[in-house]
A and B are shown apart, each in its own frame.
Chain A
Amino acid sequence: MTGNTAIRARGLTKNFGKLCAVNNLDLDVPRAAIYGFLGPNGSGKTTAIRMLCGLLTPTSGSASVLGFAVPGDAIALRPRIGYMTQKFSLYGDMTVRENLAFIADIYSYDRSDRNRRIDEILREYDFVDRARQHAGTLSGGQKQRLALACAVLHKPELLLLDEPTSAVDPRNRRDFWARLFRLADSGTTILVSTHYMDEAERCHRLAILDRGVKVADGSPQELQDSTGMNIIEVRADNPQRAATILENLPGVMSVTQLGVRLRVLVPQEIPGARQTIDAELRKHGLTAAVAEVSASLEDVFVAVTQARPERAA
C-alpha cells in the first residue's frame, strides 16, 4: 500500500485524436481528504476521473489508485471504489429501492445484510418516503443524492464524484457537501470535480485544470496565498467605464466585474498598485473606493488561467 496516498498519478495523458484532453497530469491525493478538480467545461475533469477508475486507457503516464495500478488492476480495484458519473446513470424506470437493491446485489451483499444496509441508506439519505418512487421522476437534487447513496452503499474507500452538484439548488448543494464531510470524517477519500468556486473552496486540497493541464494545486489557502498577485477591489459609480480604463492600464493583468465591484489583478512585482489605480480613475473623473483585499479562489483561477497563452482555435 502507498501509506497515506490514495491516488498517485505521474504524467497521465489522454489524447482523443489530435485533442489532448488531459496533459501530463501529476496528482497526489491524500487519504480521507476531499480533493477537488476545479475547471471549466472541457478542461478534462471527466477524462481524468475515467482514467483513474480504469474506464479510459491513458495515452501515456501511469497512475496507482489505492495501491492498484490502473487500468491494469482495475478489476481488483472496482469493489473498493464508488463512482458517481457526471450523467445520471441509475435506472429511471426502477424505484429508489430497486436501484439500491440492484447495486447491493451487484456488490454481493447477502439477503439480511442487504436489506439492513438498504434501510440504513434510505434513512441516511432521506429516501424513506420515496423508496417506491421511480428514480426517473426524482428532482435533480434528489437524483444526485440517490446517485451518491448508490455510490457509497458498499462502503468504498474511495469515492470518485464527477460534478455531483450540477443542476442542484444551493440549499441541496450545502446538504450534499455536509454528507461529503461526514464521509471524509469517517475515512473515505473523495475526489470531486466541480466548476463552482464555492465548492472548490470547501475541498481540503484541489487541482485547477485548464484545457487539460493542471495549472495549480494545493489547499485553497495555499493557492490564495501564492497567486503572486495583488488583488485590488474597486467600487465605482460607473463600473463599466472604470473597467475599460483599467484594462488599458499597463501592468494590470485582468479586470473582473462582480456586480458593482471590480476585481483587478496586478502582479506583486509592480509596486503601488492601489495608488496607481486610484490616481488613474481620478484622472478620468471617476469617484471610486479602491482597496487591497485578499485573494479569493476565483482570483486564483483567473490568475493561473490568464497566465497561459490562448490555445489556437
Chain B
Amino acid sequence: MNRLARLFAIMRKELLQLGRDRLTFGMIVGIPSIMILLFGYAINNDVRDLKAAVADLADTHLSRQFVAQLEQTQVLNVHYSVSTPEQLEKLLRAGKISVGIHIPPDFDRRSIDANRTAAHLLVDGADPTIFGVANQLANFPLGFDSTETGKPPVRNLEIRPFYNPERRTAVNVVPGLIGVILTLTMILFTAVAIVREREHGNLELLINTPVSTTELMIGKVVPYIAIGLVQLALIVMFGKLLFDVPVRGGLLELYVGAAAFIAANLALGLLISTVARTQFQAMQMTFFLLLPSILLSGFVFPFDGMPPAAQLLGELLPNTHFIRITRGIMLRDASIVDVGNEIAVLAGFAVVALTLAILRFSRRLD
C-alpha cells in the first residue's frame, strides 16, 4: 500500500517534470520527426539515373537497340556518346559519369556467342551501390534473337521481390528506424534521469526518505514506457502518411513488442545512470550503445550477411530483436506467435538490466 503510494509519487513527479522540460518534451516529438524525414528522404538506396556514356564502336541496329534497352531500365541515363573506350575512361576519371558502356565493333557476332561477352561496362567501383547495380546490369539478358521478330526479350530469370514489390527503401527503413529512434531516446531519458538528480542534489534528499531503490527505479521507468509508445505511434503515422509504409500485421502486436523493447532500453538507461558520474558521461555511454544498435542490428546491413562475431554482438542488442519484430509485423504480417521468441528475449533483457541497475544503485554517497 505504502509502496504503491510511493511508486505513484515518483511517477507523478517524473511526468510533472517531463511536462515542464521543454527540451525533453521537444525530443519526444522532435527526434522521431526529424529522423524519419532524414532517413526517409535522404537515404535512398533505389538507384536511378546514373550518368553514363556510350562508346558504340559497332553502331549496328542491334547495338543501338541494346543501349536503348539499358536506358529503359531507368538505372542509366546516357549523357555522352563517344568514339573510343579511352574517352570513356577519361570521363570516368573526371567524375562526369558513373558508368561507361563499351560496345566492341564485333558486337553482333559476340552477342550470339555464348563464350564471349558482348559488351563491357566500365564502372566507378569506389561506390559499392553503383558497383552492385553494375553487377546486375552485367547479367542483363541479351534476349533478342538475330532474326529480329520484334518479340520482347525473354529473360531466363526474373527476380520478384516478395514483401516490398516496389523495392522502396522507406518500406524497409522505417520499421528499423523505429528501433533506432526508441533506442536513442529511451536510453537517453533514463540514463540522464538519475544522474541529473544526483548532480542537482535531489538524490541526497531522496535516498534519505523511505523510498526504496526498486520504487525509485520502476517509478522512473513506467512513465517513459508510455512516452515511448507515443513515439511509436508518431513514427508509424509518419511512415504511413509520408512514405506509405504499411502495417500489415496487428497494431496491438506491434505495441506489445514495442513495450518490451522500450522497457529493455529504459532499464539499460538506468543501468548507465548508476555507472555514469555526470550527464555528459551518461550521454557518451548512450551513444556508445547507439552505434552498434544501428550498425550491427540488421538496420543497415543484412544481419545474415554479417560475420559470426558481429552477429553474436548483434544478438546482445535489443534493437536486433526488435527490428525482427517490426519488420515481421509491419511487412510480413507476422503474428504474435511468430515473434514471440523475440518479445520474450526483450522482456528478459529488461528484467536483467533492471535488476542489475537496482543492485548497482547505491544509497550511500561513498
Contacts and interface: CB of A to CB of B under 8 A. Distances in A.
A102 B201 contact: no
B253 to A, nearest CB: 36
A71 B205 CA distance: 16
A108 B1 CA distance: 9
B204 A85 contact: yes
B200 interface: yes
A93 B17 contact: yes
A71 B364 contact: yes
Contacts of A105: 5-6, 8-9, 12
A151 B342 CA distance: 47
A89 B200 contact: yes
A85 B205 contact: yes
A62 interface: no
B5 A90 contact: no
A98 interface: yes
A90 B209 contact: no
Interface in A210-257: none
Contacts of B17: 91, 93-94
Contacts of A56: 364-366
Nearest to A55: B365
Contacts of B203: 89
A55 to B, nearest CB: 5
Q: Is the interface of B mostly helix, strand, loop or mixed?
A: helix
A55 B210 contact: no
A271 B77 CA distance: 112
Contacts of A93: 17, 20-21
A87 B203 CA distance: 11
B157 interface: no
A208 to B, nearest CB: 25
A80 B20 CA distance: 32
Interface string A38-76: 000000000000100111110000000000000100110
A71 B365 CA distance: 12
Contacts of B27: none
Nearest to B212: A75
Contacts of B202: 89-91
Interface residues of B, number: 28
Nearest to B20: A93
Interface string B243-260: 000000000000000000
Given A90-B202, A94-B13, A102-B9, A107 B209 contact: yes
Given A53-B208, A108-B210, A94 B16 contact: yes
A78 B208 contact: yes
Interface string B170-207: 00000000000000000000000000000011111111
A88 interface: yes
Given A56-B366, A98-B16, A88 B21 contact: no
Nearest to B207: A55
B233 to A, nearest CB: 26
B16 A89 contact: no
Given A50-B365, A71-B364, A106-B210, A90 B6 contact: no
Nearest to A103: B209
A35 interface: no
Nearest to B211: A106
A106 B209 contact: yes
A99 B205 CA distance: 12
Interface string B95-131: 0000000000000000000000000000000000000
Contacts of B201: 85, 87-89
B194 to A, nearest CB: 14
A53 B12 CA distance: 27
Contacts of A37: none
Given A55-B365, A105-B8, A91 B210 contact: no
Contacts of A55: 204, 207-208, 363-365
A52 to B, nearest CB: 11
Nearest to A94: B16
B205 A90 contact: yes
Contacts of B20: 93-94
A301 interface: no
Given A71-B364, A98-B16, A107 B205 contact: no
A91 B1 CA distance: 25
Contacts of B156: none
Nearest to A104: B9
Contacts of B13: 91, 94, 98, 102
Among B12, B206, B210, the one with the most A-chain Cβ atoms within 10 Å of its Cβ is B210
Interface in B197-231: 200-211
B320 to A, nearest CB: 37
Closest 7 CB pairs of A and B: A105-B9, A89-B205, A87-B201, A89-B201, A108-B2, A83-B208, A106-B209
Interface of A: 16, 50, 53-57, 71, 74-75, 78-79, 81, 83, 85, 87-94, 98, 102-103, 105-108
Interface of B: 1-2, 5-6, 8-9, 12-13, 16-17, 20-21, 200-211, 363-366
11 contacts: A55-B207, A56-B364, A78-B208, A79-B210, A94-B16, A98-B13, A102-B9, A102-B12, A105-B5, A106-B209, A106-B210
